[in-house]
Amino acid sequence: MASSSLFSTPSTAHHSYSHCYSISRSFVGAPFPSPSKLFFLRNASASRFAAGRDFLVRSLFTETNHKLKDDDDYITPHACCVLGEHITEQRLVKKNARIKRMKWSLQHRELPFFRHNFRVLRGPRMFVSDKREKKKPHLIRSGIWITPGSITADAASIASSIKYHAEFTPLFSPRQFELLKAFFATAQSVRDALILNWNATYDYYEKMNIKQAYYLSMEFLQGRALLNAIGNLELTGAYAEALRKLGKDLENVARQEPDAALGNGGLGRLASCFLDSLATLNYPAWGYGLRYKYGLFKQRITKDGQEEVAEDWLEMGNPWEIVRNDVSYPVKFYGKVVEGSDGKRHWIGGEDIIALAYDVPIPGYKTKTTINLRLWSTKVRSEDFDLYDFNAGNHTKACEAQTNAEKICYILYPGDESMEGKVLRLKQQYTLCSASLQDIIARFERRSGEYVNWEEFPEKVAVQMNDTHPTLCIPELMRILIDLKGLTWREAWKITQRTVAYTNHTVLPEALEKWSLELMQKLLPRHVEIIEMIDEELINTIISEYGTADPVLLEEKLKAMRILENVDFPASVKDLLFQPKESSIVDPDEEIQSSDEEVGLNDEEVELIDEEVELIDEEEPTGEGTQKKKVLSELIDEEEPTGEGTQKKKVLSEPVPELPKMVRMANLSVVGGHAVNGVAEIHSEIVKEEVFNEFFKLWPEKFQNKTNGVTPRRWIRFCNPDLSELITKWIHTEDWVLNTEKLAELQKFADDEELHTEWRAAKKSNKMKVISFLKEKTGYLVSPDAMFDVQQIVKRIHEYKRQLLNILGIVYRYKKMKEMTAEERKAKFVPRVCIFGGKAFATYVQAKRIVKFITDVGATVNHDSEIGDLLKVVFVPDYNVSVAELLIPASELSQHISTAGMEASGTSNMKFAMNGCILIGTLDGANVEIREEVGEENFFLFGARAHEIAGLRKERAEGKFVPDPRFEEVKEYVRSGIFGPFNYDELIGSLEGNEGFGQGDYFLVGKDFPSYIECQEQVDEAYRDQKRWTRMSILNTAGSYKFSSDRTIHEYAKDIWNIEPAEIP
């Protein structure tokens, strides 16, 4: 173990410039620094380097385009350096006098800490201009030569940088250089390099004022950043060597990094892949999200199943993020809307919080472009802390405002069964939208200069809503433009529709969000007013399009398309929709008497009913009152079942309860944006033909398909180096990392025996890594000779994804093995290791039962000595991106078996195929396109088709479904108690019955079970023929070229955002 003496050498001081540099860049938006910025520099930097160490000053105060002469004592675009002498105020002022457009004086109070505390580096010049090559000045940082975007380094200089950060950016005690400390020092060293490109990118966008895309998502499932960052910077080898010099291994150091707990599943991972592609392809773009302190949850597997505990990813700090102390925006909740003397609407009062920005650099691969992921954290002003209450002992009340603000960013997807949970979720969504839009608008105004032309806003800004969570962007942008910027309704609406676009990710009803109108009126009263106006605008559009001649047709259109559900029509359109009916005035007493006669009640019955009604009216609305109403109903039912009796029941039955008034966020997203896209070809067709069919008929030009993709950098190049080297060797280029079309060249070698041998060796190497991992995490030891069968890693547990179908297939396999002799088993079945991973939401009871069932099956099967290595079942706890990066390269069969028509796309299927894993699945989501690209013979297909699903459910509801005997057999086997004492009646019961909540097998597990187990027999047969299997594996990788997120981003940029690449010069 290295001692602290490693960090006492003077060379470490060479890197102190980076701290000043990064601190200075935490203040953005003004051309020159304020005294507060200098205060942070003085206190954060001067106090650390006041020990007389040599260092290089990072200057905020120089002009970007200042040209250097070779003999200058250099004030560069990003640094100030005077060789061989102390910095003085006079020297700096003299130097700055050379810069023509400098408008800021550096005298007086701003710089004395430089004079008192620092000396500049003595020795070789740190800034040089190479006249021969006519390049921009290079910064030499202890051997690291840097121009923005182009970094080369030797291991010795990197080791020096790491040592510097271990000493001068301390998060740990100075005595030891342990792995965790090594990770933070290494990450901070890498961040130094990222910041240079990051700032160059930011400055270029500001200067050029180009159109920029903004990707808003509630999730960004990034994974670890270290290996990805140094890989994109092409410094992996150099960092590995540097850490070896310090006695550490790069892989061991990288494993110390916790996964950023900012996402859960495919939605967040897609967003992160998109950011990687945006940076790599040089598109001007930013991501916006929330900085969740505790993530979704950390999953633990116990004898009782899944348990949830809070994530701890921020406990030790995040070395990649930089807090932007001067980038914060007010966000309001509750309050009321009043009309001012100017006739404008004003949202006043209520609860005010502050959204504070944290920035994370996202580097592109082999490019200077480094874009930004801005995450919002929430807090209140210090004065909102009630000191009086605190001193009075009312501590909880004193901290109430602070707690209410901070908890907005505590948890991803807080439970929403309670009203408090619903309020918190809506607050999260509005915070993301409001803070992000305020930031986007501030940037637009700054880049516009003195004159702001709001009509140009859509020409400079594209906002993409990743699913319905950011839908409040639409009324929030309208609010800002109308209430704060003074635009008319028509102007604001036109701008909003041209700016915003919506990606739909699901056809599941629960994911097409609806919010209680009453809740939204309380929390966001001004936004409800705007939504009501948008709804009225939509109604008028529908009436204009379809007319009022056919009231039935019009009613159908309005019911399907309105944003406000179960809400009365606006007064302005009621007369158009409903013609008043002719009626005569009837005396109330006569009307009552007439009603009694129509029912056919005698006087005694009428009197009895009147008494009952009076009694009911006097009672509280309790269960007892309800019972009395039931008695009254039974009284009516005693009448003979004649036509007359039927009329009696109709007249006196209870009124239909009022349906809840809701805001349909998906409809608002479609209406308020200029583009709507699905994420796979089959999904986009379902969106057009089913989910939003009426909107598609009205605005067909809005609807598009953008099949998802994954970044080949993280998902092949970095996570599977053995396969990457093999691909590069056989196609004679590494260009495939950027141009995945070149992967198709592998098809030429699909039958080459030499490639087969090397291909299997690479797979075996990855399997050995997983064996060690599984032993460490679960205690189970598995065989490398078994097939590694994995279901949808980086997926949540959900009934429609049908992990239940998978585990029931395994139970059937196990049962059949137990009925055979050892020789018969070996002849019949291929050895398998069946691996599951995924989190069930804390409140999703059925999903948690599935997790419990999988772990119980594993506990039984894995300890069965008769079965041995022929079958293992392993549930990997607390899945995340890092686990997926390990498991996917080792996988040989991957299961993507959702009910057809219910998975929007899926992206894990793409990752598996890229890594030479063969898929078994239904024709759902991107499976359809993957099968087309890799070849039907290289994909194991089973199950009902999407167009058959509705008919099959109807058949089931009518009692016509006849289950396969094998399915009945496996259910009985589970109920026998073979897998432990847990009662699985409710889980198995969901697969039985014809219809109803928790019954009726809605996801058609029983229907697809026979074809599933028959397809698994085909898998066994293919795997026995390793030559055939390896060929299939190669062709899966070769055919996966289409599924790069680079292709998807090119399509978004061209068809939706209308942005162009902006390569940093």
Catalytic machinery residues: 505, 795-796, 801, 907, 911
Cβ burial 746-770 (10 Å sphere, 16+ → b, else e): beebbeeeebbebbbebbebbbeeb
Angle at 232 between CA 229 and CA 238, to 5 degrees: 80
* Residue 215 neighbours by CB under 8 Å, 6+ apart: 271, 274, 275, 278, 285, 286, 287, 288, 464, 466
Q: In the numeric block, which tokens belong to residue 550?
A: 């056919």
State the virtual CA torsion across 673, 675, 678, 684 in degrees, nearest 10: 120
- Round to whole Å and give the CA distance between 143 and 676: 50
Q: In the numeric block, which tokens belong to residue 732?
A: 């004679």
CA dihedral for 27, 28, 29, 32, sign (positive or negative): positive
Q: Alpha carbon of 559 to those of 343, 531, 668, 691: distances in Å?
A: 34, 17, 14, 13
Number of H helices, E strands in the chain: 44, 30
- Round to whole Å and give the CA distance between 461 and 210: 9
Q: Distance between terminal CA atoms of the chain?
A: 43
Residue 122 is classified by DSSP as: P
- Round to whole Å and give the CA distance between 85 and 118: 10
Residue type, 383: E
If one counts every other C-beta atom within 10 angstroms of the C-beta of residue 24, the result is 23
| Contacts of range 439-445, beta carbons closer than 8 Å, 24 or more positions apart | 439/288, 439/327, 439/329, 439/357, 439/374, 440/214, 441/480, 442/29, 443/212
Q: In the numeric block, which tokens belong to residue 495?
A: 């701008």
Residue type, 19: H
- Round to whole Å and give the CA distance between 985 and 825: 30
Q: Could you write out the DSSP letters of every residue in 610-676? A: HHHHHHHHHS-SSHHHHHHHHHHHHHHHTS-SSHHHHHHHHHHSPPPPPPPPEEEHHHHHHHHSS-E
Single out the residue of 743, 736, 830, 838 nearest to residue 789, CA to CA: 830
Cα 273 vs. chain centroid, distance in angstroms? 10
* Residue 900 neighbours by CB under 8 Å, 6+ apart: 922, 923, 924, 943, 944, 945, 946, 948, 949
Residue 385 is classified by DSSP as: S
- Round to whole Å and give the CA distance between 213 and 215: 7
Counting every residue written for the chain, the total comes to 1065
The phi and psi torsions of 308 (rounded to 5 degrees) equal -115, 135
Single out the residue of 922, 921, 867 nearest to residue 894, CA to CA: 921
Pair 499, 458: CB distance under 8 Å: yes
- Round to whole Å and give the CA distance between 881 and 65: 42
Q: In the numeric block, which tokens belong to residue 678?
A: 């699905």
Residue type, 749: F
- Round to whole Å and give the CA distance between 39 and 21: 14
Q: Alpha carbon of 401 to those of 354, 380, 406: distances in Å?
A: 11, 7, 9
- Round to whole Å and give the CA distance between 474 and 582: 42
- Round to whole Å and give the CA distance between 996 and 446: 57
